[in-house]
Structure 1
């Protein structure tokens, strides 16, 4: 790709020339959903430890939950010194100052919330009622902030602790999955690219789980991701060069491995300058659907969410089976300013180059067509041009 489009002078290349690098990608798309799931095990000892920790963690979750609570909740006996800080060993508090402050508040009220049952001090433990599983820079923050305005919803301290993904099993083992402090608690957790072990664990631990998945037009998601996480020297030209480099690396991976193996290849993902794999929604969605039924997943397009907030949030609340809202609360939720928008200095950089847009459209087209087939909704092909920024 760098040979085809090294500079702006090459922008006159024909569409046929642009499509040439994607032959391997297009051959892979019809096959990937039938490929047996596999991975390269670089460290068998580490994998064995992760599986052991996973099984040990899931074993503490009972098979029966309290009947009058939406979340999967149960009472757990408190052992040891009840005057000690229960969040002292929670590593999230050490990593994030905001969470540390919240833990300090929770610690102050912890002992007052203990319940004596059958002569034993017990605490209420819960798992989340729903998860937000959208990709980075696709509107999950805005959805999260509007969800928390519903009177039935109580969200966890951080929006996206990433406990099930990059901070899971063996690295942050001491982190609590979720702590419920009221009988109406509904917890949220945003993450993406979870492996099969994690999805199965979630199915095991949260049998009545609901998930909201938010997708945004692939081109704009990738550009927003670049602008948001990029540190310096950002420009449309720099983005174009990084896209070409990453496309070449992904194509190289496909020559020696299957599509799913390349999508989940952390070494490749860390090496690519832009995160192309994050926009391959259908790969991740099919993995989720291999564990959860379709009616447990709500898939939203950010364009639709942004253009009609009231309709989008009503659909989400209905999916989560939350209580009805007053007209005043509905207006409050719909009129809330959009969260986590693009920084003014990034908007000044302007849109991506037309040649970059065409390259990405060709790369993502077969995946989006498959996504539309899976969801039975042609709008997920994004064959038009989204005006959402």
Structure 2
């Protein structure tokens, strides 16, 4: 017995090990069977099993969703990175092949005393031989017209609206442009005579497609060829003019740069004007030389209210755009009084013509008044009318009083179409034009000081009287109100 007990004790550890293995085997087998039943959709009897199953399913779903999100996000990141690289690549190519629009301004050449005469000598050009098949002054670039040798049609404006700034020229131009016989040059103001010819940049010009297209052709901006090329799109329209009842030879184009009236930049550098204190040739002479039969339209507005309107426009564009009414009125009074004093002194010393055309005089005006001087001298209406009449025939000029245009728009448009020899349009078409909302008036309304208004009315009074006498029309007296 003792021997059997000893033997049993020796074998006990092995027995325990086997029992543990057997227990582990049955436990694993149970879990496998339970999982199999769960997979087959059989109900489980164990709450523990249910809990494990719930956790397993939750973990499985969460893992699947996370994996899916990771894949989607990864794909999005890849797509975004690829798109960014593609965009950067495209922009890189674009910048290499085409400079930014603002950079075109750097290609403007300045008008100086070293500018070759042959480039800027407009008065020395032989008369352009216009194609008589077109009502508009157009010509084919060939041996008969040495300016161009490209075989295409080129055109100059049939008429000009040359002033005065802040007198409704934008509104008027857009209504005239709505006539079916008008071919737009894609802009209102060419700004060539007063600015581009002299190499003066203005933001809205150097960003325009007509300017960019012309500068890309390598044409000198000081040359008349540059100006003519700005109307190439209008020339294409005139050549293909087939709208409604319109025939090719009746289509026309035009431009409306108000500064053409009073801004004769660099006139002393132009051939024939060297060494003079007053110009022999002005913008008017150049326009007449290029297009002898051209028509000129001028809109005049009360010079006092127009000057204040332009002052507020300049303020709006400056860093002082938030200025209050009282401060604006006082600032305008100071500038107006300064300009009146300075021009009065000049008129006492020299001729009025010399003072108005003297660019150095304007540059020497007291600081703070120079920016409004251009608009101030544009108010000498009788002077500019006499300048125009010394160059053009009376029947080439059409003068409009802005107040009458605003109150009698239908009549004014009819008279304008007649002056331009444009076909009469139906009442419906005219009504559509009248319903346009194309004015660019500022919404903010300020008033000048009463003392400023009186001061300006008294200053402009003798010039307004000259204007009324010249035109035989008392509406141009512009009495104080």
* Same topology, TM > 0.5: yes
Superposed structure 1 runs of 4+ greater than 6 Å apart: none
Tell me by how many angstroms 1:320 deviates: 0.6
Sort the Cα spacing of 1:58 and 1:138 in 2 relative to 1 into closer, same or farther, 3 A.
Answer: farther
Q: Which moved more, 1:50-59 or 1:326-335?
A: 50-59
Counterparts of residues 340-351 of structure 1 (less than 5 Å): 340-342=440-442, 344=443, 346-347=444-445, 350-351=446-447
Tell me by how many angstroms 1:61 deviates: 5.3
- Aligned twin of 1:267: 360
- Aligned twin of 1:373: 469
Instruction: Determine which of 146, 150, 163 is the counterpart of 2:175.
Output: 146
Instruction: Determine which of 190, 193, 198 is the counterpart of 1:164.
Output: 193
Contact 1:236 1:351 in 2 (8 A): yes
- Aligned twin of 2:347: 254
Mapped to 1, the partners of 2:427 and 2:124 lie a distance apart of 42
- Aligned twin of 1:222: 307
Mapped to 1, the partners of 2:473 and 2:427 lie a distance apart of 31
Per-residue CA distance 1:204-241 (angstroms, 9 max, x = gap):
11011001100000111000000001221361111111
Which blocks of at least 5 consecutive residues in structure 2 are unaligned? Answer: 1-110, 201-220, 240-250, 265-280
Contact 2:184 2:253 in 1 (8 A): yes
Contact 1:212 1:298 in 2 (8 A): yes
- Aligned twin of 1:72: 137
Sort the Cα spacing of 1:58 and 1:188 in 2 relative to 1 into closer, same or farther, 3 A.
Answer: farther
Matched, 1:361 2:390: no
Larger radius of gyration, structure 1 or 2? 2
Tell me by how many angstroms 1:383 deviates: 1.9
Tell me by how many angstroms 1:53 deviates: 2.7
Tell me by how many angstroms 1:57 deviates: 8.2
Sort the Cα spacing of 1:332 and 1:268 in 2 relative to 1 into closer, same or farther, 3 A.
Answer: farther
Counterparts of residues 311-326 of structure 1 (less than 5 Å): 311-326=411-426
Tell me by how many angstroms 1:199 deviates: 1.7
Matched, 1:126 2:155: yes
| Structure 1 vs Structure 2 CA RMSD | 2.5
- Aligned twin of 2:296: 211
SS at the partner of 2:254?
A: coil
- Aligned twin of 1:187: 254
Matched, 1:383 2:476: no
- Aligned twin of 1:113: none
SS at the partner of 1:211?
A: strand
Contact 1:133 1:192 in 2 (8 A): yes
- Aligned twin of 1:137: 166
Sort the Cα spacing of 1:364 and 1:186 in 2 relative to 1 into closer, same or farther, 3 A.
Answer: same
- Aligned twin of 2:389: 289
- Aligned twin of 2:330: 237
SS at the partner of 1:185?
A: coil
Normalised by the size of structure 2, how large is the TM-score?
A: 0.57
Which blocks of at least 5 consecutive residues in structure 1 are unaligned? Answer: 1-44, 79-85, 87-119
Normalised by the size of structure 1, how large is the TM-score?
A: 0.70
Sort the Cα spacing of 1:365 and 1:250 in 2 relative to 1 into closer, same or farther, 3 A.
Answer: same
Contact 1:49 1:170 in 2 (8 A): no
Mapped to 1, the partners of 2:454 and 2:467 lie a distance apart of 19
SS at the partner of 1:176?
A: helix
Contact 2:304 2:457 in 1 (8 A): yes
Tell me by how many angstroms 1:285 deviates: 1.4
Tell me by how many angstroms 1:152 deviates: 0.6
- Aligned twin of 1:173: 222
Mapped to 2, the partners of 1:144 and 1:50 lie a distance apart of 35
Mapped to 2, the partners of 1:49 and 1:57 lie a distance apart of 16
Mapped to 2, the partners of 1:170 and 1:251 lie a distance apart of 31
Mapped to 2, the partners of 1:324 and 1:56 lie a distance apart of 36
Tell me by how many angstroms 1:150 deviates: 0.5
Tell me by how many angstroms 1:303 deviates: 0.5
Mapped to 2, the partners of 1:245 and 1:194 lie a distance apart of 21
Contact 1:53 1:170 in 2 (8 A): no
Per-residue CA distance 1:190-215 (angstroms, 9 max, x = gap):
23225533322211110110011000
SS at the partner of 2:164?
A: coil
Per-residue CA distance 1:141-200 (angstroms, 9 max, x = gap):
111111111111112222112111232257722523232112323222423225533322
Mapped to 1, the partners of 2:183 and 2:116 lie a distance apart of 30
